[in-house]
Structure 1
Amino acid sequence: MENRTIIVVPYTTAWAETFERLAGIYRAQLGELVTGIEHVGSTSVPGLAAKPIIDIDIIIQGPAGLPSVVAVLERLGYTWRGDLGIPGREAFGRNADTSPLDGNGTSWPAHNLYVCVEGCTSLKNHLQLRNYLRQHPDAARQYGTLKQELAAKYPNDIDSYVEGKTAFITAILAHTGMEADDLKNITAQNKATK
């Protein structure tokens, strides 16, 4: 992974506003190729401190729909990066700050874009965690504190930062009813590679 300093900042409503603007572009361009577009990750939880990078899941019905979606996203200025070891979730990198290309030359805030197959573990993980944290502000505050502590401890080590959050995340996911095998896979996927 890239070596960037990890910064966790207080929540801002600008994240939700930016998501809505981005989602509008994706909806207009992808139309019926997708079944949903979700704002996920910490920036989607009001009041939660987060890295200022918006996470977006574009949902497709099945793997057969992926090639058409890839073609549209490439026209919008993204590069398909594969599943990066997370089955059912395809990652897309931005070619420039102006991706997605909206015809106006808009420079967009940082965001991570994923295409997820309906019902895949990664999507369930994102939605169940987001929904739980939205409904439990105390847990969201605890998570924000943990993220700030990890960012201070591992300012240039994203893998250790991610691994440090995993037990907190999987405890919430277990509470929401996620299967034990899925939790084990999430833990393995979030292990720091040294």
Structure 2
Amino acid sequence: MKTLKVVVEKWNPRWKEEFLKIVDSLGDEIILNSITIEHVGSTSVEGLSAKPIIDLDIVIRNDKFTLMKQLLEERGYKYEGNLGIQGREAFSYNNKNDLMTHHLYVCPQDSEELLRHITFRDYLRGHPAFILEYSQVKEKAAALYPDDIDKYMEYKSGCIEKGYKECGLL
């Protein structure tokens, strides 16, 4: 089994452009059948160090999932289920070498997971001191555990919990 390295980079303004490039690659039908497509996760927060992976949530009306699943499959995405997280349906892909590595999720508009993604992202965007603190924790976690994503996640969990408390998610 191949172990992927945990790599955390300083924020890169290119990430905004890469998000837009991924959205554009989805095509008009997916865009028109979504409420919005949100850039979430650390790459969406200016100044925040991050693993160089774009996270995007396609927000849909609850009755649009079957159609969205079909449209994504036609664009080369494979449905993976919710991967244990309610309110977020994951899709994987192969052979999209022209796009930056990304995690694509479909979320109903009333999803608690979507609310968590947006609330934490928006909190971070408004709190530069916390961006600095969280960046330092992530960079240290990656340095300590470059071959262990679980330990990396565990190391930064206290900082995330602090942020969740500050923005009302806990």
TM > 0.5 between the two? Answer: yes
1:60 maps to what in 2?
60
Question: Unpaired segments of 5 or more residues in structure 1?
Answer: 99-106, 181-194
CA contact (8 A) 2:76 2:93 kept: yes
Question: Unpaired segments of 5 or more residues in structure 2?
Answer: none
2:5 maps to what in 1?
5
The sequence identity of aligned pairs, in percent, is 39
TM-superposition CA deviations, 1:124-159 (whole Å, max 9, x none): 111111111111111011111111111111111112
Amino acid in structure 2 at the alignment position of 1:14: R
Q: CA deviation at 1:123?
A: 1.0
1:71 maps to what in 2?
70
2:102 maps to what in 1?
111
TM-score (ref. length: structure 1): 0.81
What is the CA–CA distance in structure 1 between the aligned matches of 2:96 and 2:106, rounded to whole Å? Answer: 20
Say whether residues 1:156 and 2:147 are aligned partners. yes
TM-superposition CA deviations, 1:78-97 (whole Å, max 9, x none): 11100000001011111212
Question: What does 1:1-194 align with in structure 2 at a 5 Å threshold?
Answer: 3-26=3-26, 28-62=28-62, 64-98=63-97, 107-178=98-169, 180=170
CA contact (8 A) 2:5 2:146 kept: yes
**CA RMSD of the aligned region, Å?**
1.7
Structure 1 stretch 153-162 or stretch 6-15: which is displaced more?
Answer: 153-162
What is the CA–CA distance in structure 2 between the aligned matches of 1:67 and 1:7, rounded to whole Å? Answer: 35
What is the CA–CA distance in structure 2 between the aligned matches of 1:170 and 1:2, rounded to whole Å? Answer: 30
